[in-house]
């Protein structure tokens, strides 16, 4: 699997009916593992704030932090498309601000950027400048304070707003879009109506692809979300390894002669 994934290739996968596999990563070690596993798209998500930096939300995450994690992840990823998230406050002020932030992330090594919500003018400007853009509609975590919590969006009459946002960013030229925490039936409708591949998280099986937060897939946190599946009991496995190491140091079982010089 040495053929580099590009934004046009991700778009073409929808036409061929091939499911797109995406996961987040925040550093070289895990980026390399996701790449080795054959994941198509790796997102340096602003979820780094929640899962790596201990924040309650993604709101405090800065552009400098995403630049730092993008450089680190780039070092481990060669095949997958590497997408960097534009954090809260780095694109909402103006199209010029959005452009400058997106350029920073591309110079840090991203192949594409992602932003939340219907910022069609900014998306058009980036696409015009040669920057592939991934959209994100439905539950957009940077707006958690407006939503009043991490809640499913687009139920009942609110569905129209999500459909309108998805169509607007599709028209603006996104190469793909995340649909987060929306009813499966709504995600199915949007997936049929937009040209860009839909990448779901908590949006049912009818999206063109799926994205998950690395820590959820690997079970690195003891918490299990309804929209996620733990493929490895990472937390238990790693704590167990660290316990064994602690015991062996305390009992002088480690290091052995073979570990010494
Ligand atoms: O930051 C992130 O991890 C994301 C995914 C949940 C899509 O935006």
Quick one: average pLDDT of 35-63? 98
- The per-residue pLDDT for 2 is 55
For 1-18, what is each residue's pLDDT tens digit? 459 999 999 999 999 999
Quick one: average pLDDT of 43-69? 98
Reported as a pLDDT band with limits 50, 70 and 90, residue 223 is confident
Q: Is 248 a catalytic residue?
A: no
Reported as a pLDDT band with limits 50, 70 and 90, residue 36 is very high
Rounded to the nearest angstrom, the distance between the alpha carbon of 9 and the centre of ligand 1 is 21
- Of the candidates 18, 180, 206, 236, the residue annotated as catalytic is 180
- Cα–Cα distances in angstroms (integers) from residue 33 to residues 9, 171, 218, in the given order: 21, 34, 11
* Contact (Cβ atoms closer than 8 angstroms) between residue 83 and residue 106: no
Q: Is 149 left (phi over 0), alpha (psi -120 to 50) or beta?
A: left
* Residue closest to 203 by CA, chosen among 4, 22, 10: 22
For 167-194, what is each residue's pLDDT tens digit? 999 999 999 999 999 999 999 999 999 9
Residue with tokens 């058009």: 124
Per the prediction, the chain carries an average pLDDT of 97
What's the rounded Cα separation, in Å, for the pair 72 and 60? Answer: 20
Residue 103 corresponds to which tokens in the numbers above? 């350029």
At residue 239, does pLDDT exceed 70?
Answer: yes
- The per-residue pLDDT for 169 is 98
For 127-170, what is each residue's pLDDT tens digit? 999 999 999 999 999 999 999 999 999 999 999 999 999 999 99
For 58-80, what is each residue's pLDDT tens digit? 999 999 999 999 999 999 999 99
Q: Please give the number of the atom of ligand 1 that sits closest to the Cα of 45.
A: 1
What's the rounded Cα separation, in Å, for the pair 200 and 157? Answer: 21
Ligand 1 pocket check: which of 22, 46, 199 to mutate, most ligand atoms within 8 Å of Cβ? 46
Ligand 1 pocket check: which of 48, 55, 85 to mutate, most ligand atoms within 8 Å of Cβ? 85
Q: Which residues of 61-90 are buried (b: 16+ CB within 10 A; e: fewer)?
A: bebebbbbbbbbbbebbebbbbbbbbbbeb
pTM score, whole prediction: 0.97
Rounded to the nearest angstrom, the distance between the alpha carbon of 116 and the centre of ligand 1 is 10
């Amino acid at each position: 699997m040495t053929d580099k994934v590009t934004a046009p290739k991700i778009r073409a996968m929808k036409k061929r009916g091939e499911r797109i596999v995406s996961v987040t990563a925040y550093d070289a070690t895990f980026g390399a593992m996701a790449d080795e596993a054959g994941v198509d798209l790796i997102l340096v998500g602003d979820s780094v704030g929640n899962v790596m930096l201990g924040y309650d939300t993604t709101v405090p995450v800065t552009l400098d932090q995403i630049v730092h994690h993008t450089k680190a992840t780039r070092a481990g990823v060669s095949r997958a498309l590497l997408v960097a998230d534009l954090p809260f406050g780095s694109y909402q002020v103006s199209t010029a601000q959005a452009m400058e932030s997106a350029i920073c992330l591309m110079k840090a090594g991203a192949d594409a950027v992602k932003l939340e919500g219907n910022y069609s003018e900014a998306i058009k400007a980036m696409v015009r400048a040669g920057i592939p853009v991934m959209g994100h509609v439905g539950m957009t975590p940077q707006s958690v304070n407006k939503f009043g919590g991490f809640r499913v969006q687009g139920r009942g009459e609110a569905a129209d707003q999500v459909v309108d946002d998805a169509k607007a960013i599709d028209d603006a030229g996104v190469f793909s879009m995340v649909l987060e925490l929306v009813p499966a039936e709504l995600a199915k409708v949007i997936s049929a109506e937009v040209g860009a591949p839909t990448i779901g998280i908590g949006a049912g099986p009818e999206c063109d692809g799926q994205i998950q937060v690395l820590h959820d897939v690997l079970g690195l946190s003891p918490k299990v979300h309804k929209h996620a599946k733990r493929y490895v009991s990472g937390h238990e496995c790693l704590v167990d390894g660290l316990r064994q190491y602690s015991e062996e140091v305390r009992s002088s079982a480690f290091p052995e002669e073979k570990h010494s010089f």
